[in-house]
Amino acid sequence: MKKDIRKIIEILNGQNLPRTDFVQLMEGLKNPYLVLIFCILSLRTKDETTYPAALRLFELAKTPKDMMEKSEEDIAKAIYPVGFYKNKASQIKELSKKLIEEYNGQVPCDIEELCKFKGVGRKTANLTMAKGFGKPAICVDVHVHRICNRIGYVQTKEPDETELVLRKQLPKDLWLDINTILVTFGQNICRPINPKCDICKIKKYCNSAQ
């Protein structure tokens, strides 16, 4: 059955489900550099750990120039205990230096260009484009990948594959908001384990709930 994705997103967006501090901070950053750094911190790290680490780091530095002037030790101390915090401190310092030396201190507004930076994959690049630049981009994390497959809108095995399929069939005006909407839905209702199908507002559209 063909999925009315507009209706599904409309229903989910109208629920006003509680958003975590992590999601609220991501929505409020707007600055491409801060979004990019925030995404790097979040990799392989729980949201509740990433959020305070990002606040501490952004008190330390908010621009590539300021970050480049900080020692790796200071950066590592600020972001501890995010996953691989020492590696991420080095990565953040190196990335900031590269932005200053090769991009005039500006984050490139291009997915392929962003992916040239060490440790930046398509998920991070897409989120930077969407939340940092306000440009149409689809960030596919575990929630987006899981939910799109659960409801039967896509049939894919990997997030990168999900992104490619969504780029072909998801209306472009939904690209910017789909990540936030599905992440919030995934955290509150459509959980990885024991999803709350009994109170789900899109149950009738979902293959897995039938």
Q: What CATH number should be reported for the domain holding residue 46?
A: 1.10.340.30
* Nearby residues of 3 by Cβ (< 8 Å), 6 or more positions away: 151, 152, 153, 205
For residues 118 and 155, state if they share a domain. Answer: no
Split at pLDDT 50, 70, 90, the class of 208 is: confident
Domain that holds residue 154: 5-17+138-205
Percent of the residues in the chain that have a pLDDT greater than 90, as a whole number: 95
> pLDDT, tens digit, for every residue of 9-40?
999 999 989 999 999 999 999 999 999 999 99
Global pTM reads: 0.91
How is residue 45 written in tokens?
A: 């790290």
123 by Cβ neighbours in 10 Å (0-12 / 13-18 / 19+) ranks as: buried
Q: Is the pLDDT of residue 1 over 90?
A: no
Provide CB contacts within 8 A for 76, sequence distance 6+: 85, 86, 88, 89
pLDDT in tens, 163-172: 999 999 999 9
Q: What is the pLDDT of residues 53-112, one digit of tens each?
A: 999 999 999 999 999 999 999 999 999 999 999 999 999 999 999 999 999 999 999 999
86 and 168 part of one domain = no
Same domain, 145 and 198: yes
For the cut 80, the answer to whether the pLDDT of residue 141 exceeds it is: yes
- Examine residue 210 and state whether it is found in any structural domain, yes or no: no
Rounded CA-CA distance 182/72 in Å is 35
Please give the tally of structural domains in the chain: 2
Measured distance CA(183)–CA(143) in Å, rounded:
5
CA torsion, ordered 45, 51, 56, 58, to nearest 10 deg: 100
Q: DSSP code of 30?
A: -
Give yes or no: residues 13 and 25 share one domain. Answer: no
134: left (phi over 0), alpha (psi -120 to 50) or beta: left
User: Could you tell me if 31 and 45 lie in one domain?
Assistant: yes
**Are residues 83 and 97 part of one domain?**
yes
Last residue in a domain, options 81, 109, 133: 133
What is the separation of C-alpha 107 from the centre of its chain, rounded to a whole number of angstroms? 17
- Taking 80 as the threshold, does the pLDDT of residue 2 lie above it? no
Per-residue pLDDT for 210 more than 90?
A: no
pLDDT, position 36: 97
